[in-house]
């Protein structure tokens, strides 16, 4: 009874005593286990095996697959939102834009050389229309900022992004994540890891994400939806402790509605010019993307001894895409485009890595052959009555524009057809070496050089634009709108024009790195260096 009385009379002293006791008990415990420490991410960006991210003298960010899955990030667009100085715009999986440090690469031409290198399991897949892959069942994503041509060859002028998928493990494992939401949102992310024998394991990962478009299209269907399915199968064979074979097969299908473009000067009957309200884009459900991406990669690794390791990486990458979009942003038939892009890429790399621990020297050297062949076909249909004045002023201020507030835009039945196709073929041979040497105590020097030998062929064909007989183009008198393309010099009169060229370049890097942890037990790295990028 006395204890109850004390508790009721002085609850503040009782709580204080309890807190002191808990604090004393906690203070008497052993220090936190190392298992509770923050796990550092292991990266392979420097091509010399696994390294802790904090030990790599490169301005880079890396994210483990588990971290990305926990954050609900399944695209590179989400990775860009996590990474300072990086922006990835997903207008559609067929039309992404990669921006690092304020410089953007987004051109879909088969002749264009990107400024950001995209790598998938160690192989270049930088061609824009085949580079945007679902981020699922990943070991990690690495994002490198600044010129990286020494490590990632041409096109790494302003940076590189590297996908590394999970490899099969020795133990049975499985996982499934399901999500649902409004606008018929559905996401399924699953994997299954099955050991077959003591030396052979398999893994399959499946990802599906879909959502109806959240922008209504008054001409039919919806806009800004999601429709992506990715399947990846992997085999890992370890016939001996020193020999590893990895086979990775990937297929991705993107089938989704069109992208909402709305002209700010053009009215939408039943809506307005806000980007968040209903649009009225002609062709309705015909708008959208149909894309297939295929990848097969075979990696062989042979650990010769404690010093030397040999690696062979062979890969084939292919994509086919067809995207239809309304470029004028209204119900007007002024501008309707398609983009039909195709590409095939083959890569063969041979690399020798070394680690002379007693000498404080490690690095690698190797050779690489890369072949690419692709095309971009763009058919354009325009309405002769609206193509010139559209977008220049409000519709009711443009004389002759076929528009009225009740029916909206009215097509006059006269149109101009124009189509162009560009082709690009690349043969590339690289030879490179990169090494890090411990100069004194905690000071390292990294030096690398790559020789790039490139042969390119570009082709272009564009038949004369064809306007329906008797039509005229506003502002061009009695002349048809096909004259626009003649004046612009876009037509090749049906002639296939080509040009070839050879480009040779040496790029390199030199970096000093001081590790305070080795000298002063402080987890700080300071590095300064020089890197050269190149985009032919």
Q: What is 393-425 written as a DSSP string?
A: S-GGGSTT--EETTTEE---S-EEEEEEEEEEE
Mean per-residue pLDDT of the chain? 86
Please say whether the beta carbons of 179 and 239 come within 8 A. no
Lowest mean pLDDT among 17-21, 205-209, 436-440, 460-464: 17-21
Tens-place pLDDT, residues 294-315:
999 999 999 999 999 999 999 9
166 or 49, greater pLDDT: 166
Given a cut of 80, is residue 350 above it in pLDDT?
yes
- At residue 474, φ and ψ (nearest 5 deg) are -55, 130
Tens-place pLDDT, residues 117-140:
999 999 999 999 999 999 999 999
Indicate the pLDDT class of residue 391, thresholds 50, 70 and 90. very low
pLDDT at 488: 74
Given a cut of 90, is residue 56 above it in pLDDT?
no
Indicate the pLDDT class of residue 407, thresholds 50, 70 and 90. low
pLDDT at 481: 79
375, two tokens: 């095309």
CA distance linking residue 457 with residue 480, whole number of Å: 34
Query: What is the enclosing helix (H) or strand (E) of 484?
Result: helix 482-488
pLDDT at 483: 82
pLDDT at 387: 59
Average pLDDT for residues 354-364, to the nearest whole number? 93
Average pLDDT for residues 341-353, to the nearest whole number? 97
- E strand spans, 327-414: 335-356, 361-383, 403-404, 408-409
Please say whether the beta carbons of 472 and 499 come within 8 A. no
Indicate the pLDDT class of residue 195, thresholds 50, 70 and 90. very high
Average pLDDT for residues 106-123, to the nearest whole number? 92
Tens-place pLDDT, residues 269-279:
788 888 889 99
Indicate the pLDDT class of residue 261, thresholds 50, 70 and 90. confident
Tens-place pLDDT, residues 432-445:
999 999 998 889 99
21, two tokens: 């006791």
Lowest mean pLDDT among 41-45, 239-243, 435-439: 41-45
- At residue 389, φ and ψ (nearest 5 deg) are -80, -15
Given a cut of 50, is residue 395 above it in pLDDT?
no
Indicate the pLDDT class of residue 53, thresholds 50, 70 and 90. confident
Given a cut of 50, is residue 29 above it in pLDDT?
no
Lowest mean pLDDT among 34-48, 160-174, 341-355: 34-48
Helix pair 2-9, 11-28: axis angle to 10 deg? 100
Given a cut of 80, is residue 98 above it in pLDDT?
yes
CA distance linking residue 328 with residue 263, whole number of Å: 6
Please say whether the beta carbons of 283 and 232 come within 8 A. no
pLDDT at 311: 97
Lowest mean pLDDT among 147-156, 157-166, 337-346, 476-485: 476-485
Sheet holding 138-145, edge to edge: 60-64, 138-145, 159-165, 116-120, 123-124
Residues comprising the chain, all counted: 536
Distances (CA, A) of 490 to 324, 417, 476, 484: 21, 13, 18, 9
pLDDT at 32: 47
Given a cut of 50, is residue 397 above it in pLDDT?
no
Lowest mean pLDDT among 29-38, 134-143, 288-297, 334-343: 29-38
Tens-place pLDDT, residues 242-254:
999 999 999 999 9
| First-to-final CA distance of the chain | 89
Q: What is 108-125 written as a DSSP string?
A: --TTPPPSEEEEETTEE-
130, two tokens: 């085949």
């Amino acid at each position: 009874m006395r204890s109850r009385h004390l508790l009721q009379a002085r609850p503040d002293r009782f709580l204080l005593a309890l807190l002191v006791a808990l604090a004393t008990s906690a203070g008497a415990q052993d220090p936190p286990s190392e298992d509770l420490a923050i796990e550092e991410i292991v990266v392979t960006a420097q091509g010399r095996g696994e390294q802790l991210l904090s030990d790599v003298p490169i301005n880079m960010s890396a994210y483990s697959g588990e971290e990305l899955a926990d954050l609900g990030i399944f695209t590179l667009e989400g990775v860009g939102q996590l990474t300072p100085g990086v922006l990835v715009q997903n207008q559609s999986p067929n039309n992404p834009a990669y921006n690092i440090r304020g410089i953007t690469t987004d051109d879909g031409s088969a002749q264009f050389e990107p400024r950001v290198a995209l790598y998938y399991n160690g192989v270049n897949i930088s061609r824009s229309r085949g580079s945007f892959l679902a981020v699922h069942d990943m070991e990690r994503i690495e994002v490198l900022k600044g010129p990286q041509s020494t490590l990632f060859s041409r096109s790494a002028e302003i940076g590189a992004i590297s996908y590394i998928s999970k490899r099969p493990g020795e133990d049975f494992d499985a996982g499934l994540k399901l999500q649902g939401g409004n606008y018929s949102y559905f996401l399924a992310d699953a994997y299954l890891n099955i050991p077959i024998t003591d030396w052979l394991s398999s893994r399959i990962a499946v990802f599906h994400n879909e959502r109806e478009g959240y922008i209504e299209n008054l001409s039919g269907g919806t806009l800004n939806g999601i429709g992506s399915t990715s399947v990846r199968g992997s085999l890992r064979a370890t016939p001996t402790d020193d020999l590893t074979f990895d086979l990775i097969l990937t297929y991705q299908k993107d089938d989704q509605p069109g992208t909402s473009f709305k002209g700010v000067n053009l009215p939408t009957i039943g809506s307005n010019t806000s980007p968040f309200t209903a649009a009225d884009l002609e062709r309705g459900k015909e708008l959208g993307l149909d894309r297939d991406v295929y990848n097969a990669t075979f990696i062989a690794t042979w650990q010769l001894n404690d010093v030397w390791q040999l690696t062979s990486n062979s890969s084939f990458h292919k994509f086919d895409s067809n995207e239809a979009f309304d470029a004028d942003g209204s119900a007007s038939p002024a501008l309707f485009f398609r983009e039909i892009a195709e590409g095939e890429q083959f890569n063969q790399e041979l690399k020798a890595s070394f680690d002379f621990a007693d000498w404080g020297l490690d690095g690698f050297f190797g050779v690489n052959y890369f072949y690419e062949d692709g095309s971009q076909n763009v058919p354009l249909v325009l309405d002769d009555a609206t193509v010139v004045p559209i977008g220049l002023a409000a519709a009711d201020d443009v004389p002759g524009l076929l528009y009225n507030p009740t029916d909206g835009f009215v097509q006059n039945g006269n149109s101009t057809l124009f189509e162009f196709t560009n082709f690009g073929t690349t043969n590339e041979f690289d030879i490179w070496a990169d090494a890090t040497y411990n100069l004194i105590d905690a000071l390292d020097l990294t030096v690398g050089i790559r020789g790039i030998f490139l042969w390119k062929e570009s082709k272009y064909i564009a038949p004369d634009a064809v306007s329906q007989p008797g039509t005229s183009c506003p502002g061009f008198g009695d002349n048809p709108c096909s004259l626009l393309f003649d004046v612009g010099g876009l037509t090749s009169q049906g002639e296939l024009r080509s040009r070839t060229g050879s480009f040779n370049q040496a790029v390199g890097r030199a970096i000093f790195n001081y590790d305070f942890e080795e000298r002063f037990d402080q987890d700080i790295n300071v590095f300064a260096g020089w890197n050269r990028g190149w985009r032919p």
